[in-house]
Amino acid sequence: MEAALRRLEERGLRILARSRFWLTEPVPVSDQPWFVNGVCAVETDLSPAALLALLHAVEEEFGRVRSVPNAPRVLDLDLLAHGRRIVPGEAGRGLCLPHPRLSERAFVLLPLRDVAPGWVHPLSGEGLSGMIERLPADQKAVPA
């Protein structure tokens, strides 16, 4: 994770803030090991599409191979939001902003609260505390 953050900076992103790392159970639950998750806020002049392409390129540099959904992976970099921009799209198919499942995932919301506790979902208008309160109790996440 640290190496990936350094690589993003080398590729021109300015990291403004970053969460602590979180250990999280896989969602959906599976026999995979727990993941390490985190969120960072960046400054960039890149468009959402160009930023997503950069994230995917860095994943590939670290050995990510895309096979089937939810397959084990060495690195998974997601674009959660790009300011307050809304980019409609199909979940799992290209660019969609804000990320379509971010409000349902402890592994996103808890680290996001570390970075931007006042963040409001641009579609629903809901704040992080409300989204976190609605998380299913079975999503396990602990600070690393």
Query: Would residue 83 be called left, alpha or beta, if left means φ above 0 and alpha means ψ between -120 and 50 degrees?
Result: left
List, in order of start, the domains of the chain with CATH numbers: 2-143 (3.30.70.560)
> From CA 103, how far away is CA 124, in angstroms rounded?
10
Could you give the percent of the chain with pLDDT greater than 70?
Answer: 93
Question: What pLDDT, on a 0 to 100 scale, did the predictor assign at position 84?
Answer: 92
> From CA 30, how far away is CA 19, in angstroms rounded?
25
Sheet holding 141-143, edge to edge: 35-37, 22-24, 141-143
The answer to whether the beta carbons of residues 15 and 9 sit under 8 Å apart is yes
Residue 85 neighbours by CB distance under 10 Å: 11
Instruction: Decide: helix, strand or coil at residue 143.
Output: strand
Question: What pLDDT, on a 0 to 100 scale, did the predictor assign at position 102?
Answer: 94
Whether residue 53 is predicted with pLDDT greater than 80 in this model: the reply is: yes
Could you give the residue numbers annotated as active site? 64, 73, 76, 78
Question: What pLDDT, on a 0 to 100 scale, did the predictor assign at position 92?
Answer: 58
| Local confidence band at 94 (pLDDT 50, 70, 90 cut-offs) | confident
Kindly report the pTM of this predicted structure.
0.89
> From CA 89, how far away is CA 94, in angstroms rounded?
7
